Structure 1
């Protein structure tokens, strides 16, 4: 497996630069609000059911034995908030996310802020839009017009992936497939994972005008329709650096090179979720790929950067929430009207 081209010190320096930029945005948009994937389409409960007949070599960590874990599942948009309480309409181009938090997971975790959880994060595209943490910085330079022509040209593949990611028409977040995009350990092996809906999606001719049509679609299916949603949790095994690159998440692990293997079923029962108390729980939860058993530890440059960035953003957000409760702020500071 090829290691990152960035040295440890370069990785740390660039990660701090990206974190500082994210914290600045968070301060401007609402210090106590979620920075990564801020717009939620719903936080729902369900079950993560480990398969009985998976190959012995894959019986690692949460997959070591057939069992059922209670889970929270959060559906989201990737785009940042326009301002406090105001998000882009769902009909605008965006990446869609699915995050899963398993509970009652025994064993020592990589991070110590949650004792019994295991998180899996995914988006609705098979590849990521930058190769490593330097890509975040370079992308920002190009977007702000500060890049020279050579860098602007070099970043065109990233912009092409972003365009593909955000241009997909979807009718319902329950009906599509999601991918980890970055690799993870499975014991001594390396894998990527995917979460594929068993519901059949009909690609819509046009997107509804409603600003929150994706949340409304989940409500219509789970609550009004009283139906359950089922997903397959699939993994792909590392083959070699040419076909299944560890350090280039912009490269797809193709199914013909590494076939999907089902290791679990995700079941989301019919339920009500579109109410204020659930939304408060949603906003308070922190999803981080480093909320994990060591057996499922994220690998690669992008994931290493996420370890610090996600943890620090969540820590800062929770500190701001506690601060506002401890020392109330005037309206000029809070600005909590949605528009």
Structure 2
């Protein structure tokens, strides 16, 4: 079976998409403003991935690849300076025991040629990947996201409390009663959301992180993930994340592990071979590996380094990661990916404005983190 060509994918164009997107953007911007008081830390906090665990220098190395995988920024052997940011997926600043285990790995590469897809920073040389330690996502349209984003903001409290759990699940499944029949209900999305609750608490360097949404991959269509190398996974010493004993267990184990040894990930892509069984516009459905395996297209090396300081967290908090900080050959595709373009951009603008942070892309890891190791 051959790989699906990018040109064979037809985006779904719904007539009310723009007005629904505008409503989502307004809601996220308002929630960002409200976070100053809600989170009680005197600054605006992301509505997702609000708690940073650390920002580390990294190197992304692209080897010589077979033609189907030698696409876009992976077309030729190359080495990119980079940083990696780890964060919790929820939009709260709390002890880890009061948060879930859904965590993110954001990658920012520097010195990437070409024009950025973000029109207000077209000349920036950065290229981002935002990944999470789960295979599927819980929203697929702007229409659904209007409601589901509100419900997401109530986690993890709504599911942890028996008095609100059933109501919350019912609201999610029926989009707060707007979907009348079981055939319309958001079954795939609910199963995807519940899969986040099954993520085990482990050292952040031990997870596989997924894009969930699809991207153009040169001539083809792909999803992206990172997986620790076998050697790196075996080398982890601080593998126990005990949030009951340590409210900052995720960060403390990450700091300890990074401070003591090098770690490495394989950056992999899964090319689409069947749009019906590997849907682009339903990110709540996992693409079967038996149809198309994951293939390594680059290696991410994170050398041992000290990320323990408060300044590191401050820099991590001000670092923006968006899937649209990319090139045309890696354009995000699918409706929820299109939603992310303006939501991430406007959220970042609003957060930086409130926090008095300069919103400008750095040119290197040294420019962002300094020259110290």
Task: Verify same fold: TM over 0.5.
Answer: yes
Q: What SS is found at the alignment partner of 1:56?
A: coil
Match of 1:147 in 2: 176
Change (3 A) 1:121 1:44: same
Higher deviation after alignment, 132-141 or 163-172: 132-141
Higher deviation after alignment, 89-98 or 102-111: 89-98
Q: What SS is found at the alignment partner of 2:189?
A: helix
Change (3 A) 1:205 1:290: closer
Contact 2:44 2:354 in 1 (8 A): yes
Q: Indicate yes or no: 2:223 matched with 1:220.
A: no
Take 1:245 and 1:318, find their aligned partners in 2: how far apart are those partners? 35
**1:56-78 CA-partner distances (Å, limit 9, x unpaired):** 23222221211111111011111
Take 1:287 and 1:130, find their aligned partners in 2: how far apart are those partners? 19
Change (3 A) 1:10 1:149: closer
Aligned length: 316
Of the candidates 304, 310, 318, which is equivalent to residue 338 of structure 2?
304
Change (3 A) 1:316 1:221: same
Contact 2:106 2:131 in 1 (8 A): yes
Match of 1:281 in 2: 315
Of the candidates 326, 331, 349, which is equivalent to residue 315 of structure 1?
349
Once the 2 structures are TM-superposed, how far is the Cα of residue 321 of structure 1 from its aligned partner? Answer: 2.9
Of the candidates 12, 15, 21, which is equivalent to residue 18 of structure 2?
12
Contact 2:280 2:334 in 1 (8 A): yes
Once the 2 structures are TM-superposed, how far is the Cα of residue 190 of structure 1 from its aligned partner? Answer: 0.6
Once the 2 structures are TM-superposed, how far is the Cα of residue 45 of structure 1 from its aligned partner? Answer: 0.7
Q: Indicate yes or no: 2:102 matched with 1:95.
A: yes
Take 1:249 and 1:269, find their aligned partners in 2: how far apart are those partners? 33
Residues 210-289 of structure 1 correspond to what in structure 2 (within 5 A)? 210-223=246-259, 226-289=260-323
Unaligned runs of 5+ in 1: 325-339
Match of 2:63 in 1: 51
Contact 2:138 2:193 in 1 (8 A): yes
Please report the RMSD computed on the Cα atoms of aligned residues, expressed in angstroms.
Answer: 2.6
Take 1:299 and 1:279, find their aligned partners in 2: how far apart are those partners? 31
Q: Indicate yes or no: 2:140 matched with 1:131.
A: yes
Change (3 A) 1:214 1:91: farther
Q: What SS is found at the alignment partner of 1:221?
A: helix
Match of 1:328 in 2: none
Take 1:2 and 1:66, find their aligned partners in 2: how far apart are those partners? 28
Once the 2 structures are TM-superposed, how far is the Cα of residue 89 of structure 1 from its aligned partner? Answer: 2.1
Unaligned runs of 5+ in 2: 1-7, 37-42, 152-166, 359-373
Q: What SS is found at the alignment partner of 2:58?
A: strand
Name the TM-score, length of structure 2 as normaliser: 0.78
Take 2:303 and 2:348, find their aligned partners in 1: how far apart are those partners? 29
Change (3 A) 1:130 1:323: closer
